[in-house]
Chain A
Amino acid sequence: MFGNLSDRLSDTFKNLRGKGRLSASDIDATLRDIRRALLEADVALEVVKVFIAAIRDRALGDEVSKALNPAQQVVQIVNDELTKILGEENKRIQFAKSPPTVIMLAGLQGSGKTTLAGKLAKWLKEQNQTPILVAADLQRPNAVTQLQVLGDKVGVPVFATEPGNGVGNPIKVAKDAIAHAKKAQFSVVIVDTAGRLGVDEEMMQQAIGIRDAVGPDEILFVVDAMLGQDAVNVAKAFKDGVGVTGVVLTKLDGDSRGGAALSVTNITGAPILFSSTGEGLDAFEPFYPERMASRILDMGDVVSLIEKAQKSFDEEESNKLAEQIINEEFTLQDFLEQMQQLRKMGNMKSLLGMLPGAGKMKQQLEDFDESEIARTEAIIFSMTPLERNGPKVLNGPRRQRIAKGSGTSVTEVNQLVNRFEQAAKVMKTMSKGGMPNIPGANPAAMGAAVGGGYIGGKKASKKKKGSKSGNPAKRAAENQGLSVPQPQESKPGSAFGLQN
């Protein structure tokens, strides 16, 4: 996500990093780089101009020249301004006081409205809502069928009274759907509409007709993250036409720089509510503007990762693991359990992508083969408990047997053992509060590093007996007794190798 923009800005900032003080010409040179980076990231020209002007004003002021570390200061300013444009708080969907809440989807052709409708329905269902989908795209061939298939998949009913393919009046369908939803007591109505161009008067009138018929609580403007300079025109047209209360960014799992996010929020003034990050119906999450801004600056989405980890990482087991790392008893059995824990957190790729610095490893991440984990599992399953607990006993014949048992080759077994040793080393370093040296090209070790980093962070604070933390809360906790597990949010720093 925003990968290339992150890379660019971090290159730009690298030049600033070493400097003690910044001159006006330094700032201008940096701003030129930022301008170009933003334009190449498809941020709309008029947004770029405003953005650059704002940063220049702040950067040329006293703020920077008097600061101790000017480069950091510029990063901070850029980050602030990015956040300002992306929206400063996490906005949530507005539910109606008296149900049903009506959500209308609008956007260009091919932006991903129908797929999004399915994802949104699934998400709402998980939030204990009772959504119903309404097929009001009667234009595109078989959009209605597509919505029905999606509805079936996520177990949400679909209101489709017209066959589509150019037949039927979408305004009437939408109106009937609301009446039906009220009667049948659905809590949320999601209205899928046809894709339309901003300049298509007739189609825009139709969208307004649907809007007036259903009285939506939210009009979500669905935007393809790959959108270019035209984002401005499109956003203006939809804002002035049907109106926009929220934005959804789709196809964020691509390698687009996603500048459209900046353009669209800036033009519509509406917050980005959700982002859609893959083809699976689960690939859908709330949008966190402040995280996205820090992601652009390549600081990684640490908070997001921690939240995900909290959801599925078993507290007790991770404590046990932490103990073992202290005692240096980390075994292949633990390695296996840890890997299974990681898998619970979801798709390995999206998980690893959230790590700081991961922007640079993007291609490796994409190449990462999920079935690698299955193979690794098979190898460990083929080991005896003795072998799992002490990989040192693995001699030639044993390795051969394991390879046969797991349907792999001795080379692969060797690789796993090497990786394991590497990972164990990484974790040990981290458990001592050091910085992880993530071996980029080594997926399994990276996996270990994710889990290990997380645990190591926890332990780092436990172990730091001598050096009292600078954070008062932390220090208090340390003084109180080291067995109290720290809330995880407080220490992404050491865990993820962030430079302070």
Chain B
Amino acid sequence: MFKFLKRLREKEADVATQSPEPETSSEIEGAPAKEPVITVAVSEPNARNEKEPVSKPELVSVELPRRSLKKGVRSLFDDSMDIEELEDILILADFGVETAEEITAELRREANKKGATTDPELRLMLKDLLVKRLGRNDAALNLDYGKLPYVILVVGVNGAGKTTTIGKLARWLKDGDWELVLGAADTFRAAAVDQLETWAKRAESPIVKPAQEGADPASVAYQTVEMAINTDADIAIIDTAGRLQNKKDLMDELGKIRRAVEKQAKISEVLLVIDATNGQNAMSQARAFAEVAEVTGIVMTKLDGTAKGGILYALQKELDLPIKLVGVGEQINDFAFFSPEEFAKGLVAKK
């Protein structure tokens, strides 16, 4: 599956292939440690290593505890699936009018061709169609090119769930045995720094905080990367203030943060956090952030509510941005890689 590379530390050299017991959460299906972890062979020393200073430890592959997004997705259909109602149902799931029309038309065409009429047949066809359209090969986190530290920048509008996402991601990566540094570059919102600090404690990771409220977020970002380098951490995750995509000055600030980070390290991921309860405005968000912050992937949060998050289909298709992660609850482990298969299955499941 996904191949990730991190530093091999001496103390763990002999246990590197073994994942530590993560905190288990009994309410979660497919909770960590219940299923076998994803194992990847230890990487061979490669060319990239030679560029690193000699003192740097070798790279080792990493596993992340397996997670499922199953609990987050609700079925589209209350009773049996009727192709006549499909368009409305997709609109209700925030797929958007255009996408809903298109999917319905295609399904109808295919159903006619194959002579499919029964409920299970139609559900299966819809599922296959969604899986086919949603699947892509760049959905893994970009944490495998070996040039450490990896830097992850987290951006999004106000209230999308950026800080919570970082908390969950940090805990998960920590469970996968990575060393992290968190950067609290949301210097604007009251107590945002404290909020991240609480998550940092839960993820047992150090945090870089601004000297005072309202400090320059770019400088916090710079210091975070600096600390990651100085402490030999694998990953720096930087939280940014929520900003509405139509505020040009705030959006420009993201460019500055990027530049500050890039003085010392390559940015591996710019994750755009989108609230699944948002409707069509998510498109506008993604478009604007993609342009200014060069987003590399989307995190869809709050999928555990009644929102179906159909907008992710249009996002991925129209903006060519992969959905990488999904948040499915308030607990620290309620977080998973996006799986088109699981998502589509959930949408067509029988209640």
On A, residues with C-beta under 8 Å from B are 36, 39-42, 44-45, 108-112, 115, 118, 139-143, 145-146, 148-150, 153, 165, 197-199, 224, 226-231, 233-234, 237, 251, 253-257, 259-260, 279, 362-363, 366-367, 369
Contacts and interface: CB of A to CB of B under 8 A. Distances in A.
Nearest to A109: B302
B164 to A, nearest CB: 8
Q: Per DSSP, are chain A's interface residues mostly helix, strand or loop, or mixed?
A: loop
Interface of B: 88, 91-94, 96-97, 157-161, 163, 167, 188-192, 194-195, 197-199, 244-249, 275-282, 284, 302, 304-308, 311, 330
Contact of A39 (B91, B161, B248): B91
Given A229-B93, A366-B248, A234 B277 contact: yes
A277 to B, nearest CB: 11
Nearest to A150: B190
Given A40-B280, A108-B305, A254-B244, 16 more contacts: A39-B97, A42-B281, A108-B277, A110-B160, A110-B161, A112-B158, A143-B195, A145-B191, A199-B306, A224-B278, A228-B282, A229-B94, A230-B308, A256-B278, A256-B281, A366-B246
Contacts of B279: 42, 226-231, 256, 259-260
Most B-side CB within 10 Å, residue of A227, A229, A253: A229
A366 B247 contact: yes
Given A36-B97, A227-B277, A227-B279, A253 B159 contact: no
Contact of A165 (B192, B198, B307): B198
A228 B246 contact: no
Nearest to B97: A39
A44 B282 CA distance: 16
Q: Per DSSP, are chain B's interface residues mostly helix, strand or loop, or mixed?
A: loop
A279 B188 CA distance: 9
Given A110-B160, A197-B304, A257 B330 contact: no
21 contacts: A42-B281, A108-B302, A110-B302, A118-B190, A141-B198, A142-B191, A146-B191, A146-B195, A224-B159, A226-B157, A226-B281, A228-B279, A228-B311, A229-B93, A230-B307, A233-B306, A254-B245, A254-B281, A255-B245, A256-B281, A366-B248
A482 B140 CA distance: 74
B284 A141 contact: no
A130 to B, nearest CB: 22
A251 B244 contact: yes
The 9 closest A-B pairs by CB, nearest first: A228-B279, A110-B159, A42-B279, A146-B191, A141-B198, A149-B190, A256-B281, A142-B194, A233-B306
Nearest to B279: A228
A116 to B, nearest CB: 11
Contacts of A226: 157, 275, 278-279, 281-282
Contacts of B159: 109-112, 224, 251
A110 B192 CA distance: 13
B190 A227 contact: no
A45 B88 contact: yes
Contacts of B280: 40-42, 228, 257
A165 B332 CA distance: 13
A229 B305 contact: no
Contacts of B330: 109, 139
B245 A146 contact: no
A199 B91 CA distance: 21
Contacts of A257: 280-281
A109 B334 CA distance: 15
Contact of A153 (B88, B190, B244, B248): B190
Contacts of B197: 142
A474 B236 CA distance: 68
Given A109-B161, A230-B277, A254-B244, A40 B97 contact: yes
Contact of B275 (A44, A110, A254): A110
A367 B199 contact: no
Most B-side CB within 10 Å, residue of A110, A115, A254: A110
A253 to B, nearest CB: 6
Contacts of A165: 198
Nearest to A197: B305
